[in-house]
Chain A
Amino acid sequence: MSRIVFLEERCKGCGLCVAACPVHILRPSGRFNRHGYELMEMAGTCTGCASCAIMCPDVAIRVFRSVKPRENAA
């Protein structure tokens, strides 16, 4: 399954990633980082499209896409 990782101390809680996600799986988490910005969280199946990361002004998102298993489907 594809996934994203938030670098939470870089996040400024702007929510542009939430608006950019085409499958609507991002939402505000109710948790805050050291700077007092509200962090986002993922709830659902990520497609690894990287839309959130493309719109993130603070380069706070890393995207991992699952590659199609070839011979060793584990």
Chain B
Amino acid sequence: MPTQNLEEQLRPAAGEKLVFDTNPVLSERLTHYCPGCHHGIAHRLVGETLHELGVASRTILVASVGCATFTYDYFSVDGLEAPHGRACAVATGVRRARPEAVVFTYQGDGDMAAIGMAESLHAANRGEKITSIFINNTVYGMTGGQMAPTTLLGQKTTTTRDGRCMEREGGPIHLAEIMAGLDGVAFAARCALDSVQHVREAKKAMRTAFEVQIEGLGYGFLELLSGCPTNWHMDPVAASKRIAEAMIPVFPLGVFKNKRTEQSSQSGKVHHA
């Protein structure tokens, strides 16, 4: 379709309503992610959540290392870069120095669950008022498909040529459940990005993960099961299928901890909107 018509097409005609649009928190820039990579969906959810909560102007993003390194290019919020797993440690400092800010980290499984495990767990355990979005795609994406802590048993990667083996490399780390066991964590959930329904659920969980921070209840954690078609050597549709068939049985979806509902059920009264 000729591009000169695009503007015309984007104008709602009489009797039409624009029901899906981008949001102002997402930058217009095209992402560098591979075709079919679920990072894009996760980015959109973060953007929509910040926009809906109306906190984008006081949000500070701490980017990580991995495919998500350039995250700060894709959001119209302030951001800084904390390489090699230190995002939660840096976010701790940011949040303590700027208590009015909404601070979140966006990290992959190599970053958060391997090299940055110590920083992440201790920040969570201290109950830092930050939110972490954890992208679990069972593989190191940017560096070329090596085994991640979350790699499934039997999964072939460039460093587990015969498939991950329990005796040699251990099993996949269930970070959402680990986080839920820490006292400082206010919200810990795992969602998936493989289908429309799961994306809708992820959006809801993401909102709560930010709300617990804003309300000062503690650390918000959201794990998102996402696809990496490139390093799984699959087409994007098959990658989504793999999430449903291979990942979700190992990484069950759900909310593992939610201090908001605990609080309201304890007091037996209304909890804030």
Which A residues are closer than 8 A to B by beta carbons?
Answer: 2-3, 5-10, 12-16, 18-20, 37, 48, 50-51, 53-59, 61-67, 69, 74
5 pairs, CB–CB < 8 Å, chain A vs chain B: A8-B3, A55-B41, A62-B20, A63-B20, A67-B16
* Complex Cα–Cα for A29 and B38 (A): 23
Residues of A contacting B237 with CB < 8 Å? 15-16, 18-19
Query: Do the beta carbons of B19 and A14 come within 8 Å of each other?
Result: no
Q: Residue among B20, B195, B236 with the most chain A CB within 10 A?
A: B20
* A58-B14 in contact given A7-B6, A50-B19, A63-B20 (Cβ < 8 Å): no
Query: Do the beta carbons of A63 and B18 come within 8 Å of each other?
Result: yes
Residues of B contacting A61 with CB < 8 Å? 20
* A64-B13 in contact given A50-B20, A59-B44 (Cβ < 8 Å): yes
New contact pairs (11) apart from A16-B36, A57-B38, A59-B26, CB-CB < 8 Å: A14-B229, A53-B20, A54-B20, A54-B200, A56-B40, A56-B41, A58-B30, A59-B22, A59-B44, A64-B18, A66-B17
Q: Which A-B residue pairs are the 6 nearest by beta carbons?
A: A57-B40, A14-B36, A12-B35, A63-B20, A14-B35, A53-B20
Size class of the B contact interface (CB-based, 8 Å): 35 or more
| Binary contact readout B15-47 vs A (1 if CB under 8 angstroms, 0 otherwise) | 111111110001000110111111111001000
Residues of B contacting A20 with CB < 8 Å? 195-196
| Binary contact readout B116-152 vs A (1 if CB under 8 angstroms, 0 otherwise) | 0000000000000000000000000000000000000
In-complex Cβ contact of A5 among B10, B30, B41, B199 (8 A):
B10
In-complex Cβ contact of A57 among B13, B33, B195 (8 A):
B33
Query: Do the beta carbons of A64 and B19 come within 8 Å of each other?
Result: yes
